[in-house]
Amino acid sequence: MNEAVFYDTLREGLWVALIISAPILAVALVTGVVIGLFQALTSVQEMTLTFVPKLGAMLAVFWMTMGFMTQTLKTFFDSSLIPLIAGG
């Protein structure tokens, strides 16, 4: 395997990782901002108020996008990694 193939596969793998993690990270960001605004407006500074809803939202989004994540990883492995391994 030459360097160009290695870097191309690495770039594609990083792109897949970004695509897969984007929904969960976006929901964590939005939930954190909303809860932060709520805490700033009401002066309630409770740590569990930040952690529990964010964790719940992330788990819900993970559960909803699990099929998309699995299919994206399967496509990456089938189209990129397995031919490289089989081809030597």
Kindly report, residue by residue over 52-79, the tens digit of the pLDDT: 999 999 999 999 999 999 999 999 999 9
Question: What does the CA dihedral 11, 16, 21, 26 come to, rounded to 10 degrees?
Answer: 80
Tell me: the pLDDT tens digits for 3-27? 999 999 999 999 999 999 999 999 9
Residue 87, domain member (yes or no): no
Binned at pLDDT 50, 70 and 90, residue 88 comes out as low
Question: Cβ contacts of residue 50 below 8 Å, gap of 6+?
Answer: 32, 35, 36, 39
State the residue range of the domain holding 8.
Answer: 3-82
Residue 52, domain member (yes or no): yes
Domain total for the chain?
Answer: 1
Residue 57, domain member (yes or no): yes
Residue 70, domain member (yes or no): yes
Q: Model-level pTM greater than 0.75?
A: yes
